[in-house]
Amino acid sequence: MKPKSQERGQALILIVFAAVGLFAFTALAIDGSRVFSDRRHAQNAADTAVLAAALAKIRADPPETGDAVAETAGLARAASNGFDNTNSVVEVNNCAEPGLDPACEGLPADAVLSEYIQVVIRFTTQTTFARVIGRNEVSSMVSAVARVQGSSASGSSSSDAAMFATKSGPYDQCFRMNGGAGLGLHTHASGIYINCSGSEAISLGGSAYLQMDGEGQVVGCFVAVGAFTYDPIECSVTPRTIDASTFATVPTTQPPPACGPAAPYPVGNHYMPGSYSNITITSTSTMDPGIYCVSGSVIISGPLNGPATGRVQIVLQDQGITLTGSGATMDFSDLEIYGNNASVTLGGHSGMYADRLRYFSTGTGTFNVQGNAELTSSDAYFYLDGGNIDWNGDALLTLHGPPQGDPFGGLLIHKPWDNTSSVVLNGGTNTNLTGTFMVPGSPVTINGSTAFELHSQIIGSEFNVSGSAGIDIFYDPSENYTLPNSPTIQLTK
């Protein structure tokens, strides 16, 4: 047994170790709580900063400055909560930016990254008791992500340009004109906007002319050769982010009505609603209001008249409606045609007339108007999911888009973003079209063989203007479609 004098001091050692442990627990309790509190405060600051950035982006005017104003607003809001780049590191990023650290997290698999904003705050918390165990500070990082859709700025992504080319990237000849002195393009009360960034994104040649009442703008630049004359064109404008999401809120189609039982046998030439295998019209015939489902074809070589009032809805499958010969006409007050892989063809000298006309095509259905055929409606909308329009320059076309207030108000022709088939507009003196051509994924060719007027806005991927006569495009917002101004903000993470 050791003498008591040799055991002196052992208690002091134990007390020192116990004190270290006590300080460690105190550090965990006090410094840990401080770190937790600072992280919670930083997270709240990041959340409010990303929402402020998102709101600023929505309000940005012009919309293409959105990322810059979002960064400014996000940094300012973070600073107002005590986090600025003097005592912390604050970043405001668009999630589409490459090499982000950390990357934007918590997004759906099909997310459009350019719609998301991220705020990251890095900071340190000074410790008091943890210094005893060698921890003078604790580093932390928090982040927040918000989704921004739409803009509340004046004007839509298509601005007020009569011709708006959506194609993005370092491409040339996204707007082409090449013709003789008879060819000219005049955009009234408007200009053109070309989103391509090639040095020759606009290519002008020959002895034609381009006259614009509004601005001519191009992300890249232009080249003009020969005797071509043109109004001023501004190069190197800010590119716009244009993709499928830009047009996601544009109304497309509506589901076809439900088909009923087999139709009663026509009484003479009087047709009643119901399901048919085929319909063949060879002499003057009439239709009652209602739903007509046709599994086969509709062949019209004589006059077919709808009711004076009431809606006729024709639902087609695979086959379609064909009007043949000069006696083939359809005359309705209110006509809706729904087709799945089904086309409508107006042969030469036939005619389709409707006060109100809707054509909803899914699959590959097309709408064809051949030379000397006539198509007339004062309230018309054509939607082509995968098909196209084919209107001959000798056809007689008098069409006006739906009035404002209608779900399709101002839209005359609509093809979705992923329908990239070419659109050819062959115009003449008998072509009178009013309303927006919303074909953002399609290259558009405009041919003017005689004086050609469009009261329209044309939104396509690129343009080719040719022919031997002048082309006038009159832009009037009241006659055209405006992208819905319904911006949304969603805190994602």
Residue 56 or residue 486, greater confidence: 56
**Strands 380-384 and 367-369, sheet pairing:** unpaired
Average pLDDT, the chain: 87
* Least confidently predicted of 1-10, 177-186, 426-435: 1-10
Helix, strand or coil for residue 203?
A: strand
Residue 168 or residue 134, greater confidence: 168
Residue 362 or residue 159, greater confidence: 362
Using CA atoms, how far apart are residues 224 and 206, in angstroms rounded to an integer? 9
pLDDT band at 155 (very low <50, low <70, confident <90, very high): very low
pLDDT over threshold 80, residue 393? no
Residue 148 or residue 415, greater confidence: 415
Mean pLDDT (whole number) for 213-226: 94
Mean pLDDT (whole number) for 8-16: 59
Mean pLDDT (whole number) for 242-256: 88
pLDDT score, position 96: 87
Over residues 113-130, the pLDDT tens digits come to 888 999 999 999 887 766
| Phi (first) and psi of residue 469, to 5 degrees | -145, 165
pLDDT score, position 60: 78
* Least confidently predicted of 56-65, 239-248, 285-294: 56-65
Spell out the alpha helix ranges (H) of 60-171: 66-80
Using CA atoms, how far apart are residues 186 and 418, in angstroms rounded to an integer? 30
pLDDT score, position 3: 54
Cβ neighbours for 352, distance < 8 A, ≥ 6 positions apart: 323, 329, 330, 344, 346, 374, 375, 376
pLDDT over threshold 80, residue 154? no
pLDDT over threshold 70, residue 10? no
How many other CB atoms sit within 10 Å of the CB of residue 464?
19
Percent of the chain whose pLDDT exceeds 70 = 88
pLDDT band at 85 (very low <50, low <70, confident <90, very high): confident
pLDDT band at 224 (very low <50, low <70, confident <90, very high): very high
Number of H helices, E strands in the chain: 3, 38
* Least confidently predicted of 174-183, 260-269, 309-318: 260-269
How many other CB atoms sit within 10 Å of the CB of residue 89?
13
Q: Whose CA is closest to 34, among 179, 186, 140, 119?
A: 140
pLDDT band at 467 (very low <50, low <70, confident <90, very high): confident
Q: What does the H/E/C string look like for 134-145? A: CCCEEEEEEEEE
* Least confidently predicted of 25-34, 226-235, 270-279, 364-373: 25-34
pLDDT score, position 30: 72
Over residues 394-445, the pLDDT tens digits come to 889 999 999 988 989 999 999 999 999 999 988 777 889 999 999 999 999 9
Spell out the alpha helix ranges (H) of 61-189: 66-80
pLDDT score, position 289: 97
pLDDT over threshold 90, residue 92? yes
pLDDT band at 278 (very low <50, low <70, confident <90, very high): very high
Over residues 322-358, the pLDDT tens digits come to 999 899 999 999 999 999 999 999 999 999 999 999 9
pLDDT over threshold 60, residue 153? no
pLDDT over threshold 50, residue 156? no
Cβ neighbours for 375, distance < 8 A, ≥ 6 positions apart: 346, 351, 352, 369, 391, 395, 396, 397, 398, 399
How many other CB atoms sit within 10 Å of the CB of residue 8?
9
pLDDT band at 15 (very low <50, low <70, confident <90, very high): low
pLDDT over threshold 50, residue 157? no
Mean pLDDT (whole number) for 177-181: 89
* Least confidently predicted of 144-158, 325-339, 379-393, 423-437: 144-158
